[in-house]
Amino acid sequence: MKTRIVRVDAQQPDPAVIEEAAAALREGKLVAFPTETVYGLGAHALDEAAVQKIFDAKERPATDPLIVHIAHVGQVIQCATAFPANARKLALAFWAGPLTLILPKKPSIPDLVTAGLPNVALRVPSHRVARALVETAGIPIAAPSANRFSRPSPTTAAHVKADLEGRIDLILDAGATDIGLESTIVDFSVDPPVVRRPGGLTFEQIHSLVPDVVLAAGQATALEAQLAPGQLTRHYAPRAVLTLYEGDPPDVVKQIGADVRTAVAGGLKVGILAPEDDLKALAPIIAATASAGRVEVRPYGSRSDVERGAREFFAALRDLDASGVAVIFASSPGTEGLALAIRDRLSRAADGRIKTVVQS
Ligand code: TXA
Ligand code: MG
């Protein structure tokens, strides 16, 4: 299959391009498009054959359900059998935007979309291209992140192309996405509601409106696995072996510095993924070892600009991994605001390799 890539303005998308993409979706084709979080891979949510193509193109297991994108809050009742007051409150406050609500599903939503679960995940995206597309298509659009399964989420059309060229019909290229991390998923099929995936909308923002909301435990229990299957699988898995470092930044920097020396001495090519400030502190150590070309560094934002960190994070991870490093040492941005979502992605990529550094 030939994948067409069409440029579209992020602020004022050309209606002719949107109409063409909407028609492709209505016909059951796959269209990758930008949202404010990451690029999505869209298909007609009520057309099972179209939805199946998403799983095939991504090589995604059928046990991992998809988010359904709708044009406005009024369409919730077309997809869900209940819309609790607190879910409505969040929707009114944060839609269109990086919030996904899990609600009991209507029979019209195919089981394939929800991986057989009785609930459906719904979201109204705010990106102008995404909004124009769902409005013009006039159908709900199932869309996971437009990456190959277990690859980092795509924040540019080039990332989508790298993972899915030849497997999908169309990519709408509107440049880099604004937020850079996926939506926050809040599960209202349980009481109290649970944040299943931290994301572009912060836990603090949700908590301020719905004080009884809880954050899912880091380690998914069997029940959680059943309720949010995608969270169990090893997401964002880089080729390199990634270790996440946590603790006070100066202590973390010291430990990473020591571990870089050891790894390079052992003949390994090392990657460091960290906020700019940490990399600056590591510069002398990197200078001492980099002469052999054994250290690659990629910054994501800074300790004082976590929003930029979110925007840059996935691209930095992809790029570092592609540089051929054997190991990646990543420093945690913390757990406040958007940092919680970055830390979540890092801990998944680390697959359990988390080093908590304490001052000696
Ligand atoms: O920002 C985003 O949410 C992006 C853009 C494209 O909208 N989409 C996205 O989709 O990140 P995806 O498929 O990569 O991640 C969605 C996650 C899945 O891993 C799955 O665990 C969860 O949402 N999910 C979807 N439907 C669910 C359901 N019915 N019950 C529980 N979890 C669900
Ligand atoms: Mg994904």
- The whole-angstrom separation of Cα 206 and Cα 212 is 10
CA of 84 to the centre of ligand 2 (A): 26
Least confident piece of the model among 6-10, 166-170, 267-271: 267-271
State how far the Cα of 197 lies from the Cα of 264, in Å rounded to an integer: 35
**Which of ligand 1's atoms lies nearest the C-alpha of 231?**
21
**Which ligand has an atom closest to residue 64 CA?**
1
pLDDT band, residue 229 (cuts 50/70/90) = low
Q: What is the pLDDT of residue 352?
A: 87
* Lowest-pLDDT choice from 64-73, 228-237, 247-256: 228-237
- Render the burial of 228-242: b for 16+ CB within 10 Å, e for the rest: bbbbbeebbbbebeb
By C-alpha distance, which of 223, 187, 230 is closest to 62? 230
> Using a 6 Å cutoff on CB, does residue 134 contact ligand 1?
no
Query: Rounded CA gap, 48 and 52, in Å?
Result: 6
For ligand 1, whether the C-beta of 180 sits within 6 Å is no
Pocket test for ligand 1, best of 182, 186, 345 (most atoms within 8 A of CB): 182
| pLDDT of 249 over the 50 cut | yes
User: Cβ(341) to ligand 1 under 6 A?
Assistant: no
253 close to 259: Cβ distance less than 8 angstroms: no
Q: Is the dihedral of CA 303, 308, 311, 314 positive or negative?
A: negative
pLDDT, tens only, 169-194: 999 999 999 999 999 999 999 999 99
For the cut 50, the answer to whether the pLDDT of residue 219 exceeds it is: no
Interval between CA 39 and ligand 2 midpoint (Å): 10
Share of the chain above pLDDT 70, in %: 94
Cα 133 from chain centroid (whole Å)? 20
Please tell me the predicted confidence (pLDDT) of residue 287.
84
Q: What is the pLDDT of residue 221?
A: 42
At 242, the pLDDT band (50, 70, 90 cuts) reads very high
Q: Across the chain, what does the average pLDDT equal? A: 93
Q: Is the CB of 136 under 6 A from ligand 1?
A: no
- Ligand closest to Cα of 181 equals 1
Contact 273, 320 (CB under 8 A): yes
Q: Is the CB of 68 under 6 A from ligand 1?
A: no
Q: End-to-end alpha-carbon separation of the chain, Å?
A: 57
Ligand 1 proximity of 172 Cβ (cutoff 6 Å):
no
Strand boundaries in 53-175, DSSP class E: 67-69, 99-104, 119-123, 141-142, 170-173
Q: How confident is the model at residue 218 (pLDDT cuts 50, 70, 90)?
A: low
**182 CB near ligand 1 (under 6 Å):** yes
Look at residue 198 and tell me whether its pLDDT is greater than 50: yes
φ and ψ of 51, to 5 deg: -65, -40
Q: Is 152 in the pocket of ligand 1 (CB under 6 A)?
A: no
pLDDT, position 230? 55
pLDDT tier at 224 (50, 70, 90 boundaries)? very low
- Extract the runs of DSSP E, i.e. beta strands, from the chain: 4-7, 31-34, 39-44, 67-69, 99-104, 119-123, 141-142, 170-173, 184-187, 194-197, 214-215, 241-246, 270-274, 295-299, 327-331, 354-356
- Over the stretch 54-68, which tens digit does the pLDDT of each residue have? 999 999 999 999 999
- pLDDT tens digits, one per residue of 22-44: 999 999 999 999 999 999 999 99
Using the predicted structure, report yes or no on whether residue 339 has a pLDDT greater than 70: yes
pLDDT tens for 278-324 read: 999 999 888 887 656 689 999 999 999 999 999 999 999 999 999 99
- For the ranges 221-225, 244-248, 275-279, 338-342, the lowest mean pLDDT is seen at 221-225
The CA 242 to ligand 1 mean position distance, Å, reads 24
Distance 109 CA to ligand 2 centre (A): 20
